[in-house]
Amino acid sequence: MTAHKILFLVLDGISDRPCPELGNRTPLQAAVTPILDGIAAEGACGIMDTIAPGIRPGSDTAHLSLLGYEPEKYYTGRGPLEAEGCGIHMEPGMIGFRCNYATLDDQGRVVDRRAGRIHRTEPLSQAIQEGVDLSPLGVEFFFRSGAGHRAALAFRGEGLGVAVTSNDPKKEGVPPLPFEARSGDEADRMTARALAAFVAQAEEILRDHPVNASRRAEGLLPANTVLVRGAGKMGYFEPFSTKYGLSGKVISAAALISGIGTAVGLTRVDVPGITGSVDSDLGAKVRAAREALSSADFVLVNIKGADEAGHDGNVREKVAFIEKIDLALAPLARLPDTLIVVCADHSTPCSVKDHSADPVPVVIAGEGVRVDRVTSFNEISCAEGGLHRIRGSSLMPILLDLLNRSPKYGA
């Protein structure tokens, strides 16, 4: 028998290093995970460098690699992918940026880079979209809210470059930085001028916006500026259906991952209640994944809360969320006619509070898979599995072969 569908589960940042608080076990080793262990026991396991050994992956470059789109060829910056994920249709050549709503004090200094972790910023973004005018510069812009304090910006116009600095000082207590061209190219200077004009006009709109007036009245920080970074030019992505002959969908609370999915031609599935944090409704995500498989050959599901706990250095929270994931995955453990792939996109060790280059565990289970002797899903056990150590770019070719869709190389 040969499977015909793929369920691709990316447990964002779940991989870690030994933690003294856990008796020098990783959170995956310490967590009680009967479902993940069961998948490992019925599949082929290994460890994986999502980019290459020793390379610290971003979530963006890692997901591109996992989907078989070489980052060195396709990646131009996070901004365009974030903008795509926020609902801006990014055409090749458009310039994209990732943004934060932030708070300035009366002296113009940043007091909170996330504006008190503000949520539901759509009215602010709509006011900016309707009120800012960059036409004197020959620039058309698109501005949309993302999750929480996040947003995205895109420029369309002739003679725009991407080699520009950010206004984000990456710390509080200082003013935003000026936008500057990183080169002497007039196209980069034009983008820097457009960004400065955009932020200046946005601040005028945000200053007296009813949302911010209400927040001040409640003792909350206003969202009275926009920090912009991650400039990149949107390129061309070969459609996923053309590249692999598979129809696909993406389920993710993170705009970045949704943007990568839609950029390569996956259909985005919106799921109410998913947040990308440890409070996410994983049950709703799992139900959406099962439903998506009824009409698609390939479903990518990103579950992100463990990454957040790793960035916070919260070992116990990471263990607890891993166990929450495991419980939620029960309905997906055995699906007919489906290969199930479980992996991380990168390691986020609690001791580092950032991504690391440590390889991540990976398992493929389903019809036709050569089952190895691994019975636990974690970084150490999976290293002894039949997949051995692979790169992220090898995963889709392996899966295509298991679906009997891989072309023969040679006669």
pLDDT in tens, 187-210: 999 999 999 999 999 999 999 999
**Whole-model pTM above 0.85?**
yes
Question: CA–CA separation, 250 vs 268, rounded Å?
Answer: 5
pLDDT in tens, 290-308: 999 999 999 999 999 999 9
- Predicted pLDDT of residue 54: 98
- Give φ, ψ of 250 to 5 degrees: -130, 135
Q: How would DSSP label each residue in 331-363?
A: GGSS-TTEEEEEE-SSB--TTTTS-B---EEEE
Consecutive sets of 10 residues in the chain, 411 residues long: mean pLDDT of each? 94 98 98 98 98 97 98 93 95 96 97 93 98 98 94 97 96 97 96 98 97 97 97 96 97 94 96 86 96 97 95 97 97 94 98 97 97 98 98 98 94 86
- Predicted pLDDT of residue 73: 93
Amino acid at 7: L
- Predicted pLDDT of residue 411: 86
pLDDT in tens, 152-188: 999 999 999 999 999 999 999 999 999 999 999 999 9
User: 396 exposed, middle or buried (CB, 10 Å; 0-12, 13-18, 19+)?
Assistant: buried
Question: CA–CA separation, 143 vs 154, rounded Å?
Answer: 7
Going by C-alpha positions, the residue among 295, 384, 259, 403 that lies closest to residue 340 is 403
- Predicted pLDDT of residue 16: 98
What domains can be seen in the chain, in order of their start residue? 5-75+236-402 (3.40.720.10), 82-233 (no CATH)
- Predicted pLDDT of residue 148: 87
- Predicted pLDDT of residue 334: 85
